[in-house]
C-alpha cells in the first residue's frame, strides 16, 4: 500500500511538473510569437528606414546635381558678363583715348591756326618788302636773283603755314573749278625737280574738271610724288595716271554715287607691307621699316584729311619689293566752265581808283600802301575798324568816296573787318569790300559773299595776286564769280 501511495505521489509530481512545463512551453510559445512579431516589425521598420534613406539620398543627389548645374550656369553667366564688361571697359578706354587724342588735336589745331595767322602776317611783310625791293631792281642785277630766292623761300614757308591751317579748327577747303591735269603736271614737275626719277604721264584730254582747293590738292600731289621719289633713291619711273569714273549707288568704295576723277601715283620702290599699308594714313603712325620712307606719317595723314574734306577717297596698294600705288578719287565738278584769268580779264587795264586799307599791323599797312601806290591806286590806311569807318564817312562827305576798302578780319583789341563792314554799309550800302586775313579757314573767307564782301585774300600774297583780286572786284564785283577769293596767291 505504501508503494501505491508512493507511486501515486510520484505520479502527481510528474503531472504537476508536466503541467508546469506545458505552461512554461506555452509562455515560451507566446514569447516566441511576440518576439517574431517584434522582429518582423523591426524588419519592416528597418526596410522603411532604408527606403527613406534611399529616397533622401536620391533627393540629395538630385539637389546636388541641380545645384551644380545652377552653379555652372551662374558661373557661365558671370564669365559672360565679365567678358562683356571687359569688352565694354576696353571700348570705353579706347573711346576715352580717342577723345583725349581728339581734344589734343583740337588744341593743336587752335594753336596751329593762331601761329599760322601771326606767321602769315610776318610773311606778308617780308614778301611785300621783297616785292618792293624787286620793283626797284633790274632783272639782270645780282640783287634781283637774290630777292627772287628769298621770295621763293617765303612761298615755301607759306606752304608750311598752309599745312598747319589744314589741321586747324574748321580748316575747310576753298574750292574752285580746276583742271586736274594742269595741277598734276605742275606739281609733279616741282616734286621731281633735281631728282633722278622721271615721270610717265597717262592723262586723257577729256578729264572732267574738279571742284577743289588748289593749294590743298597741290599739297597732296606733292606729298605722294615726293614719297615715290624717296622710294626710288637710285632713280626710276613714277607713273601718274588719271581717268573719269562713275561710282554706282551700291559701290564698295564708301563714296557717294556720282562722277569722280580718279588719279594715281605709282612707284617702283621697295613697297610697303599690307599691315602698314592699312595704317599709314593714321596721324603719327611710325614703324622701323617705315622709318626710311621720308615724308610719310604726318604728311600722309594730312593728305587723308585734305581728301576727306573734299568728299573724296585716298587709298594705298603696295607689295614689298615691287612698289606702291596711291590712288585718289576727287568729285568731278557739276559745272563744265573753268574760269581763267583771260575769261575774267579780256584785256589789261590801267589801275586807278581810291582804296582804303585797314590792318592793325603797322608794317603790313605800310607795305600794302606802297604796293597799292605802285599799282597806281590812291591809298589811305587805318589801324582799326573805327578809324576806317570815320575815314570812309569823311571821304563820302567830301565827295571822294573810296572805290574799295580792304579790311583785316581780326584786329586785336579793336573792331575787325566783319563788324566794320556792317557799320560802313549803314553809311554806304554800295561799298565794295575785300576781306584780308592770315586765317584761310575762317568762315568769312570761305563764304565771303554771305558776309557782304566782294572778295577775299589770304596773307601772305604776291603783288600779282593782289592786283588780280582787286581787278576782279572792280571788273567782276557783280558777276557772281568767286575768283577774288584765290587763297595764298597761287598766281
Q: Which residue has the higher pLDDT, 419 or 45?
A: 419
Alpha helices in 252-384 (DSSP H): 274-277, 298-309, 341-344, 362-374
Q: Across the strands, what pairs with 318? A: 324
CB 176 within 8 A of CB 212: yes
d(CA 155, CA 144): 16
Lowest pLDDT segment from 120-134, 161-175, 238-252: 161-175
Domain with CATH 3.40.50.2300 in the chain: 344-489
pTM equals: 0.50
Q: Which residue has the higher pLDDT, 428 or 15?
A: 428
Give the model's pLDDT for residue 16: 79
- How many Cβ atoms from other residues are within 10 Å of residue 26's Cβ? 10
d(CA 371, CA 375): 6
d(CA 243, CA 301): 24
From 193, 241, 186, select the one nearest 218 (Cα to Cα). Answer: 186
409 three-class SS:
coil
Over residues 357-367, the mean pLDDT reads 90
d(CA 237, CA 150): 32
**pLDDT band per the 50, 70, 90 thresholds, residue 141:** confident
Over residues 217-237, the mean pLDDT reads 90
Could you read off the pLDDT of 443-485 as tens digits, one per residue? 787 788 889 999 888 888 878 788 888 888 887 553 333 333 3
Over residues 104-118, the mean pLDDT reads 67
Q: 180-331: which CATH topology?
A: Heat Shock Protein 90 (3.30.565)
d(CA 410, CA 385): 10
Domain with CATH 3.30.565.10 in the chain: 180-331
Lowest pLDDT segment from 42-46, 237-241, 278-282, 346-350: 346-350
Assign domain 344-489 to its CATH superfamily: Response regulator (3.40.50.2300)
d(CA 380, CA 391): 8
**pLDDT band per the 50, 70, 90 thresholds, residue 391:** very high
Amino acid at each position: 500500500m505504501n508503494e501505491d501511495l508512493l507511486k501515486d505521489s510520484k505520479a502527481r509530481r510528474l503531472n504537476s511538473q508536466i503541467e508546469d512545463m506545458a505552461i512554461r512551453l506555452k509562455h515560451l510559445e507566446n514569447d516566441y510569437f511576440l518576439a517574431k512579431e517584434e522582429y518582423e516589425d523591426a524588419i519592416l521598420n528597418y526596410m522603411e528606414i532604408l527606403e527613406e534613406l534611399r529616397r533622401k539620398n536620391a533627393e540629395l543627389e538630385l539637389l546636388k546635381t541641380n545645384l551644380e548645374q545652377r552653379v555652372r550656369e551662374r558661373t557661365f553667366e558671370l564669365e559672360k558678363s565679365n567678358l562683356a564688361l571687359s569688352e565694354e571697359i576696353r571700348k570705353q578706354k579706347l573711346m576715352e583715348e580717342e577723345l583725349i587724342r581728339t581734344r589734343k588735336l583740337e588744341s593743336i589745331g587752335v594753336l596751329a591756326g593762331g601761329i599760322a595767322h601771326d606767321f602769315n602776317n610776318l610773311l606778308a611783310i617780308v614778301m611785300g618788302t621783297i616785292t618792293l625791293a624787286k620793283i626797284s631792281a633790274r632783272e639782270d642785277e645780282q640783287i634781283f636773283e637774290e630777292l627772287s630766292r628769298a621770295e621763293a623761300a617765303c612761298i615755301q614757308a607759306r606752304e608750311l603755314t598752309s599745312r598747319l591751317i589744314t589741321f586747324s579748327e574748321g580748316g575747310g577747303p576753298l574750292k574752285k573749278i580746276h583742271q586736274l591735269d594742269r595741277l598734276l603736271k605742275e606739281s609733279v614737275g616741282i616734286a621731281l625737280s633735281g631728282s633722278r626719277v622721271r615721270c610717265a604721264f597717262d592723262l586723257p584730254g577729256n578729264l572732267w574738271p574738279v571742284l577743289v582747293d588748289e593749294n590743298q590738292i597741290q599739297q597732296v600731289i606733292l606729298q605722294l610724288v615726293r614719297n615715290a621719289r624717296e622710294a626710288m633713291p637710285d632713280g626710276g619711273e613714277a607713273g601718274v595716271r588719271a581717268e573719269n569714273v562713275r561710282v554706282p549707288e551700291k559701290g564698295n568704295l564708301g563714296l557717294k554715287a556720282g562722277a569722280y576723277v580718279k588719279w594715281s601715283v605709282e612707284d617702283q620702290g621697295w613697297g610697303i607691307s599690307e599691315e602698314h599699308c592699312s595704317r599709314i594714313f593714321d596721324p603719327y603712325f611710325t614703324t622701323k621699316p617705315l622709318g626710311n620712307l621720308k615724308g610719310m606719317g604726318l604728311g600722309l595723314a594730312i593728305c587723308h584729311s585734305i581728301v576727306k574734306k573734299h568728299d573724296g577717297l585716298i587709298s594705298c596698294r603696295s607689295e614689298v619689293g615691287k612698289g606702291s600705288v596711291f590712288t585718289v578719287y576727287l568729285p568731278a565738278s557739276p559745272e563744265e566752265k573753268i574760269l581763267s584769268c583771260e575769261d575774267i580779264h579780256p584785256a589789261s587795264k590801267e589801275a586807278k581808283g581810291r582804296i582804303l586799307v585797314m590792318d592793325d599791323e603797322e608794317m603790313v599797312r605800310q607795305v600794302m600802301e606802297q604796293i597799292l601806290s605802285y599799282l597806281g591806286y590812291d591809298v589811305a590806311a587805318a589801324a582799326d575798324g573805327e578809324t576806317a569807318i570815320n575815314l570812309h564817312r569823311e571821304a563820302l562827305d567830301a565827295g571822294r568816296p573810296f572805290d574799295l576798302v580792304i579790311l583785316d578780319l581780326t584786329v586785336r583789341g579793336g573792331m575787325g573787318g566783319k563788324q566794320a563792314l556792317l557799320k560802313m554799309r549803314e553809311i554806304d550800302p554800295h561799298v565794295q569790300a575785300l576781306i584780308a586775313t592770315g586765317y584761310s579757314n575762317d568762315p568769312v573767307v570761305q563764304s565771303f559773299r554771305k558776309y557782304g564782301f566782294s572778295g577775299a585774300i589770304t596773307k601772305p600774297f604776291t603783288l600779282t595776286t593782289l592786283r588780280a583780286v582787286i581787278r576782279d572786284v572792280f571788273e567782276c564785283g557783280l558777276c557772281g564769280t568767286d575768283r577774288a577769293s584765290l587763297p595764298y596767291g597761287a598766281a
